[in-house]
Amino acid sequence: VISLEKIRVRFAPSPTGPLHIGGARSALFNYLLAKQYRGTFVVRIEDTDLERSNRESEENILASLKWLGMDWDEGIQKGGDKGPYRQTERLDIYKKYVDLLLENGQAYFCYCTEEELEEEREALKAKGETPRYLGKCRTLTEIERKEMGNRGLKPVVRFRVPDGQIINIDDLVRGKVSFESDGIGDYVIVKSDGIPTYNFAVVIDDATMDITHVIRGEEHLSNTPRQVLIYEALGLAMPSFAHISLILGKDRSKMSKRHGSTSVVAYKDKGYLPEALINFLALLGWSPVGEEEIFTIDDLIKQFSLDRVAKNPAVFDLDKLNHINSHYIRKAPLEEITTIAIPFLSESGYVSKEPNIEEFKLLTKIVAAVRERINNVAEVANFADIFFSQEVIFENEEAKEVLKEEQVPQVLELLQQKVMEAEELTAEVIKALLKSLTKELGLGGRKVFMPVRVALTGQMHGPELYDIIPILGKEGVKKRIASSTGQLS
Ligand code: GLU
C-alpha cells in the first residue's frame, strides 16, 4: 500500500490536556511507519484553540512521547527547515493562503452573528435537515461589507464549498469513503480574531511540511472531506489518509475516565513500563500475524503494517495491559525496576527518597522477591509492611486461625532457633533449613510452611519464604514472630 518514496508522517497534538492513550497510539503508528521506511517523524503543535491550549499540556505531551521512547526527527523543540512547528507561530503562512482563496472567490467574509447562526441551525433542525451554514454572506457586495465593517462587526472567513460534489477518500484503513459536499455548509477557516481553524491550518501545515501520510484517529474522518476541498481549491498535493478506529472501554462505550486512566502519565505514575505501554498500544487496532503478544519496539518497527490495522473499534483491556506489563517487569534489569519502585516505597514511609548503596541493595532483594507477583511497579509498595514493619498485620481472621493450630508453637520455636544458628541467610540455606524443619518435626509441608508464612507476613500467600527470610534477617524474623504470636489470645 505504501510506496517507497521517502515517507514523512506527523503527530499533531492539540495541547489541551495530557497525552491521551488514543493520541499515543496515533503517534505510535506514525512513528512505526517512519522508522520502518526510514522516513521522517514530525511533531507539530496544533494550538489554534487559544482558550483550551496551554504550555503545560504541550510539555506533558512531549515528555510523554519521550518517555515512551518515540523521539521525533523534526518539529517542535527539534527544529527543521519546514518550521515553525507550533501553529500560532505560523499565522503569516496561513494568511498567504487565505488571501489566495479570498482573491479567487473560494472564500469570503461572513458577518453573521451568533444569534443569526443559531436561528438558522434551529430552523434546519426543525425541518429535519443537517444544521449547516446556508451561505447568507456568500453574495455580500463590497459596499455591504464596508458598511458592516463600519458598524464594528468583525468577520470570519468562510470556505465556499462547491455544490453537488462527491468527495472520495481512499483511506488506507477504511477503504473508499465518500461524502457529499451538499451536506457540508460553508465552514469557517479563519475566526473573527484572525486565527485560522484546525481544518484549515492542518491542510496548510501538512502540505507545506510535505507530509505524505496522515494517520490519525477516526474522530477526524468527518473533517477529512473539508480538508480535501481545501487541498483541491489551492491545488496542493494531497497526502494519503489512514483513520484508525476509536478506542472503546470493555463495555463498548467510548474510552473515558470511567474505564480507568486515559492519560499516558497516569500509567507512568502507576509504575507501568514504557516498553509495556508501547506493546499494548500497538495491539490496540493492529493485529500481528501469529499468536505472539509480546513485541519490543524493534519487533514492531519490523512487523507493523497498516494492512493489518482493523476497521472495527479497539477495546481497551486493562487485564491485558497488566499481563504485558508484568512480563516486562519480570524481564527488566532488577536495578531498573528498583529505581522505579523507590518513589512508591518512599511514599510508604519506610524508605528514603535517595537510598544509599546498602539500602538500594536491600531494595533490589525485595523487588526480586516480589516482582513475579505484581502488575505494576507501584504494587511493590503493597509488600512494604512485610519487609519493613516490626508489626505483623493479619490479612484476615483465617490467617490468624492458622497460627492457632497445635503444631505451631513447636514449628516457630524450631524455626527461630535454626535461623539464629545459621551462619548466613541465603535462599539456599533457608531452603535446606525448612526441609530439615519438616523432617525433624515429622510434619507435612503445609503444616510447616503456612504457619511460618503467616507468622512472618500475616498473609497466606506471597513471595517465597526463602526470599523473605534473608531480607528480614535474624532480628526481623525474631521480631515478627514475637509480633504475630503476641496477637493471639
Ligand atoms: N490536532 C488534532 C488533535 O489533536 C490532530 C489532527 C490531525 O491529526 O490531523 O486531535
Picking from 15-29, 98-112, 245-259, 260-274, which range would have the lowest pLDDT averaged per residue?
A: 245-259
Cα(14) to centroid(ligand 1), Å: 6
Beta bridge partners of 432: none
Cα gap 348→342, rounded to integer Å: 10
13 lines ligand 1 (CB under 6 A): yes
* Mean pLDDT, the chain, whole residue set: 95
Pocket test for ligand 1, best of 220, 222, 240, 241 (most atoms within 8 A of CB): 220
Picking from 13-22, 76-85, 256-265, 285-294, which range would have the lowest pLDDT averaged per residue?
A: 256-265
202 lines ligand 1 (CB under 6 A): yes
Question: Is the CB of residue 440 less than 8 Å from the CB of residue 341?
Answer: no
Atom of ligand 1 nearest to the CA of 11: 8
Cα(366) to centroid(ligand 1), Å: 44
257 catalytic? Reply is: yes
Atom of ligand 1 nearest to the CA of 227: 9
Atom of ligand 1 nearest to the CA of 219: 10
Q: Is the pLDDT of residue 484 over 60?
A: yes
220 lines ligand 1 (CB under 6 A): yes
Picking from 253-262, 358-367, 467-476, which range would have the lowest pLDDT averaged per residue?
A: 253-262
Cα(211) to centroid(ligand 1), Å: 14
Q: What is the pLDDT of residues 391-404, one digit of tens each?
A: 999 999 999 999 99
Amino acid at 147: E
46 lines ligand 1 (CB under 6 A): yes
Residue 421 Cα distances to 379, 424, 457, angstroms = 34, 9, 22
Q: What is the pLDDT of residues 414-460, one digit of tens each?
A: 999 999 999 999 999 999 999 999 999 999 888 999 999 999 999 99
462 lines ligand 1 (CB under 6 A): no
* Residue in 146, 257, 331, 439 annotated catalytic: 257
Neighbours of 258 (CB within 10 A): 10
Cα(23) to centroid(ligand 1), Å: 9
Cα(33) to centroid(ligand 1), Å: 18
Cα gap 234→170, rounded to integer Å: 20
Question: Is the CB of residue 114 less than 8 Å from the CB of residue 120?
Answer: no
Nearest to 266 by CA among 21, 453, 74: 21
pLDDT of residue 348: 86
Q: Where are the alpha helices (DSSP H) in 256-393?
A: 264-269, 274-282, 297-303, 318-331, 334-347, 357-370, 384-388
14 lines ligand 1 (CB under 6 A): yes
Q: What is the pLDDT of residues 187-214, one digit of tens each?
A: 999 999 999 999 999 999 999 999 999 9
Neighbours of 105 (CB within 10 A): 9
Atom of ligand 1 nearest to the CA of 23: 4
Residue 64 Cα distances to 18, 22, 34, 58, 343, angstroms = 8, 13, 19, 10, 18
Q: What is the mean pLDDT of residues 10-17?
A: 98
> Which residue's C-alpha comes closest to atom 6 of ligand 1?
12
Residue 21 Cα distances to 16, 272, 315, 465, angstroms = 14, 13, 12, 39
pLDDT of residue 349: 87
Atom of ligand 1 nearest to the CA of 216: 8
pLDDT band at 2 (very low <50, low <70, confident <90, very high): low
Cα gap 198→188, rounded to integer Å: 10
Q: What is the mean pLDDT of residues 96-103?
A: 98
pLDDT-above-90 percentage for the chain: 93
pLDDT of residue 407: 95
Cα(207) to centroid(ligand 1), Å: 15
377 lines ligand 1 (CB under 6 A): no
Cα gap 74→80, rounded to integer Å: 5
Q: Which three cell numbers stand for residue 53?
A: 491550549
pLDDT of residue 1: 53
Q: What is the pLDDT of residues 351-379, one digit of tens each?
A: 999 999 999 999 999 999 999 999 999 99
Q: Is the pLDDT of residue 175 over 60?
A: yes
Q: What is the mean pLDDT of residues 7-32?
A: 97
pLDDT of residue 258: 82
pLDDT of residue 286: 96
pLDDT of residue 340: 96
pLDDT of residue 260: 81
Cα(107) to centroid(ligand 1), Å: 23
Q: Is the pLDDT of residue 248 over 90?
A: yes
Q: Is the pLDDT of residue 3 over 80?
A: no
pLDDT of residue 235: 97
216 lines ligand 1 (CB under 6 A): yes
Cα(257) to centroid(ligand 1), Å: 20
Pocket test for ligand 1, best of 216, 243, 246 (most atoms within 8 A of CB): 216
Q: Is the pLDDT of residue 71 over 80?
A: yes
pLDDT band at 102 (very low <50, low <70, confident <90, very high): very high
pLDDT band at 350 (very low <50, low <70, confident <90, very high): confident
Q: Which three cell numbers stand for residue 129?
A: 435537515
Cα(169) to centroid(ligand 1), Å: 18
pLDDT of residue 208: 98
The number of CA neighbours under 13 Å toward the Cβ of 79 is: 0
pLDDT of residue 402: 95
Atom of ligand 1 nearest to the CA of 215: 8
Q: Which three cell numbers stand for residue 448?
A: 510447616
Q: What is the pLDDT of residues 123-149, one digit of tens each?
A: 999 999 989 999 999 999 999 999 999
Q: Is the pLDDT of residue 310 over 80?
A: yes
